[in-house]
Amino acid sequence: MSKFYLLLALTVGPLALLFAFIEWRIRRRERDNREEMARAARLGLDEPVSLHPYIDPDRCIGSGACVTACPEKKIIGLVGGRAELIRAAECVGHGACAAACPMSAIQLVFGTARRGVDIPRISPQFETNLGGLYLAGEVGGMGLIRNAVEQGRQAMTHVAASLSGAPAAEPGVYDVVIVGGGPGGISAAREAARLGLNYVVCEQEDTGGAILHYPRAKLVLTRPLEMPGLPPLKGPRLSKEQLMDFFDEVTAGLVIRRRARVTQVTRRDDTTFAIQVADAPEPLVTRRVLVAVGRRGTPRKLGVEGEDQGKVVYKLIEPERYRGLKVLVVGGGNSAVECAIMLADADATVALSYRGDKFNRVAAETRDRLDAAVAADRVQLLLNTQVARIGFDNVHLTGPAGDLALPNDAVIVQAGGTAPTEFLRQIGILVDVHHGIRVVRDESKVAP
């Protein structure tokens, strides 16, 4: 009998230890997730800013498949045996979690009860309330490069179908003008070229859209990208530079007007639109319009004396070119903080000015890196300050402590952009504010 108990102990003992270890790991992970959620709330990172998952607690079984599937990692975690958004503000709407859930407990939604999201009203064919004017990509609420590319292609297919059988355009009239040279606009242009349409792309900067504003070496793509007429671009992870090289290839031969900011779209008659481009003497005339701009919009300016100097820019491309220079970064979001850190890493003398008294929507890791850079005197943090004037070799700031003059060689403004919503409303497109609208699974339609 003693041998039996000995064998039982040798068999059950390790299993009990194994189960105890598994239970300990689960409890520790849940504790860490709770702490991360509390930290996100303290930092103002508990509110999603765009497309994100809604997790039905009655259907979730806590399998963890969504946690594993998320390419960003640590966006979703298990708490109390159920999936929860841990770092809601960092979610970019990949949708991989929804596809991986075995119980269909996850749906992608726009907006929350507290934070509304402006979503233009479009049909399943991407057509707005203005017949003949279409929207695709991020401006329609759908983030991610691959989504914009696919929607640009689909929208252009519907544009071509709407022109099928119609009389040929008069001389000087385009079949379609594409507003925006980002991923969605370029995809639409390639499809227009393939379908034999007379088109032109109007881009206010250079092709690439918001990708142009990403810092050097930033990872921007984690899944294959398929442009019309080209084999998929595969990673598994692609940097900004790799993607821009790809864009140079896909834009070759396309009809693109760079530095052409569209200021107005008006209906000219029953069949055509007039597209006014800044500084252009005459508007473009077209039968269809496809707006494929990003939600970043036009960079927001400070509106102060001296801002028109060449040393003032609104994006950071090459941190190394600022080595040894005195640089002021203006802004309080992730982009501004990351910009300041990268400049410090490039051995620039960096000051970061923000009008608020604390950062509310900066990722936890980024904030930790900033705190370390400030503690090491690599970044001068100037909270509660605003730029009053930009001189030739200095910058004047104002704040509760009075005026401050800093020696300065360059100013990088990272104060966000003027969202395109106002532009859309100005041209007559209906825009609704949504608080938790759900997306059907093909990611091309929106349903209440």
For 304, the token pair is 């102060």
Band (pLDDT 50/70/90 cuts) for residue 435 is low
Identify which has the larger pLDDT, 362 or 326. 326
pLDDT in tens, 389-421: 999 999 999 988 888 999 999 999 988 776 688
pLDDT in tens, 51-102: 788 888 889 998 889 988 887 677 888 888 888 888 887 776 667 788 889 9
* Of the options 3.30.70.270, 3.30.70.20, 3.30.1520.10, 3.10.20.340, the CATH number for the domain spanning 2-115: 3.30.70.20
Delimit the CATH 3.30.70.20 region(s) of the chain: 2-115
**With 70 as the cut, is the pLDDT of residue 376 above it?**
yes
Band (pLDDT 50/70/90 cuts) for residue 224 is low
For range 155-173, the mean pLDDT: 91
Residue 204 and residue 314: Cα distance in Å, rounded?
14
With b for 16 or more beta-carbon neighbours within 10 A and e for fewer, the 178-193 pattern comes to: bbbbbbbbbbbbbbbb
Taking CB atoms within 8 Å and a gap of at least 24, the contacts of 351-354 are 351/326, 351/327, 351/379, 351/380, 351/381, 351/382, 351/406, 352/328, 352/379, 352/380, 352/381, 352/382, 353/328, 353/329, 353/382, 353/385, 353/386, 353/387, 353/397, 354/330, 354/382, 354/383, 354/384, 354/385
Q: How much is the pLDDT for 396?
A: 95
For 190, the token pair is 């390639």
Percent of the chain with pLDDT over 70: 83
For range 346-352, the mean pLDDT: 95
Question: Does domain 312-416 sit in CATH 3.40.109.10?
Answer: no
Delimit the CATH 3.50.50.60 region(s) of the chain: 118-297+420-447, 312-416
For range 288-306, the mean pLDDT: 84
CATH code of the domain made up of 118-297+420-447: 3.50.50.60
pLDDT in tens, 205-215: 776 666 655 55
Position of tokens 């702490």? 35
Identify which has the larger pLDDT, 326 or 55. 326
- Strand pairing class (106-110; 437-439): antiparallel
Residue 34 and residue 17: Cα distance in Å, rounded?
26
What phi, psi does 274 have (nearest 5°)?
-110, 125
